[in-house]
Amino acid sequence: MLKWLLLLACLTSVFVGRGRFQVAGEKNAVKSSGSEDHPQELGDSPNLGEILRKRRKENPDSSPETLTRYLSKVGALSGRERRGKGSMARSGKASCGKLYKLKQGAKRNFRVKGKEDFCDVVFEPKGKAKLELVCKKFSLSDCKQEHFVVDDQDSEDTYCGNERPSKRTGLDYLHLTYRKTGDISDKPNILCTVKGVKASGGGGGSSGTQASGCEKVCGKASESAGASKIVGGEASTPGEYPWMVFLSIIDGDLSYLCGGSILTTSHIITAAHCVDYDSPQVIVVAGEHNVNKEDETITQIIRGKKITMHPKFNSKTQANDIAIITLKSSLEWTENVGPICLPPDNTFENRKAVIIGWGLLDYPGSTFPDELQEAAVTVSDHKECKESYAFSNFPVTDKHICAADPGRDSCRGDSGGPLMTKENGVWVLLGLSSFSTLECATEGFPGVYTRVSSYSQWILSKISSGSC
């Protein structure tokens, strides 16, 4: 009975007013999730990092090349950039305040042993290389007076104590910063190596693209999984998509419905706008199918312990609409509960895909289904999708992926749910339901999803404590 009341409250509250699918832009400020992605500033000394952060705050989607040109324009790189033999060296210590361009095989060590109060270094790949970060030593004693910041093209994360940054690879940009204020008795000990590595598009089940052990179990579903309905959606079968979860987002006296996908036994991925509240509480229901049948499937109901929104999520534009929910206890894999795979870095244009959810069946309307619905869609031509939303408050960028077919689209209540396709025998997560037109399924305006492959490294860094 408790579960039934919870689900009913979620469905009712979405209907009566604040379903977030089309109205995610109603808030006027980006809220902090209270995670490590939002560090406290320790000082105001002018430096390379301050200039970079200010510029990226003004232009969140700036490319590394754009940032470098800006630094050169304002004179911040005068005498700082290492070229020629300096940047091509096989190894060596990275000097504070420098920019290094690393080709494949070249590497530099970022090292702090206690002499510096502040040190920051910027790295970029050279040629067709990508960057890889590995921290072999890490020890900071005072989290109030010193921290280490890792800033790449997707996120900005702060570390202290003995929790070292996890390995990151495939990076297009990297900015490392150590800062200390006041006297600290214990000396810091940081040794991180940045290396130029071979660029790789990755793959749905290839090594390094999934959380620990997940490549062996992710994306597994019955052979009959997949939607073929020509118009609208249809009810899926119980257990057809074992990674799908029902999210109840509770904010004070109100609650909201969203979808999400299982990545590890302790991590769920969803849209940031689903959890963009002051103090949201999240209840995750895995293994659900029919919300009004208590014994149809065996479900696992677990509360969220931590919500990590992307630090550059913008509720005004829906940019970077992605979040990770860490669970208080671990899920158990069963026939109807399991993880989905992270995707390879492909466009998937014109590919058949599937969307699922418990959202509205029509709009305007009040018809919420009891059973999990599925619909077949086609991934749109990205240029055409950009043009369709050119004058929208929510512009489409390269970090989005669009999909729809006539009469088929995600709608209110489907936010955060998966856009997925089968790749090399396993199901991969292409996108997270983010926004569409107010009416849903409007011809010429496909549904817009957060492109998961654009955030692979950020996702892996957030789920590094999880496994399958």
Beta strands in 228-332 (DSSP E): 234-235, 244-251, 254-264, 267-270, 281-286, 300-309, 323-327
Catalytic choice (273, 289, 310, 382): 273
Full DSSP string of 190-249: EEEEEEEEE-----TTSTTSSSBTGGGTTT---TT-S---SSS-EE--TTSSTTEEEEEE
Instruction: Return d(Cα 151, Cα 299) in angstroms, integer.
Output: 39
With contact defined as beta carbons under 8 Å apart, do 410 and 382 qualify? Answer: no
Q: Do the beta carbons of residue 304 and residue 326 sit within 8 Å?
A: yes
DSSP 113: S
Q: For residues 104 and 93, give the distance between their C-alpha atoms in angstroms, rounded to a whole number.
A: 17
Catalytic-residue membership of 415: yes
From 120, 151, 276, 321, the catalytic residue: 321
Nearest to 273 by CA among 324, 305, 315: 315
**DSSP letter, residue 263:** E
How many angstroms separate the CA atoms of 358 and 355, rounded?
11
CB 112 within 8 A of CB 119: yes
Strands 418-423 and 189-198 turn out to be: unpaired
Which of these, 220, 463, 171, lies nearest to 341 by C-alpha position? 220
Q: Give 272's contacts (C-beta < 8 A, 6+ positions apart).
A: 309, 310, 313, 320, 321, 322, 323
Residue 38 catalytic?
no
72 SS3 class: helix
Annotated active-site residue in 415, 436, 454, 461: 415
Instruction: Determine the Cα–Cα distance for residues 218 and 460; give it in Å rounded to an integer.
Output: 14
The H or E element that residue 9 is part of is: helix 2-13
Looking at 287-417, which runs of residues are DSSP E strands? Answer: 300-309, 323-327, 352-357, 373-379, 400-404
**Would residue 369 be called left, alpha or beta, if left means φ above 0 and alpha means ψ between -120 and 50 degrees?**
beta
C-alpha span between 27 and 23 (Å, rounded): 9
Provide the H-helix boundaries in 18-74: 48-58, 64-73
Would you call 253 a catalytic residue per the annotation?
no
* b/e per residue 251-287 (b: at least 16 CB within 10 A): beeebbbbbbbbbbbbbbbbbbbbbbbeebebbbbbb
- Catalogue the active-site residues: 273, 321, 415
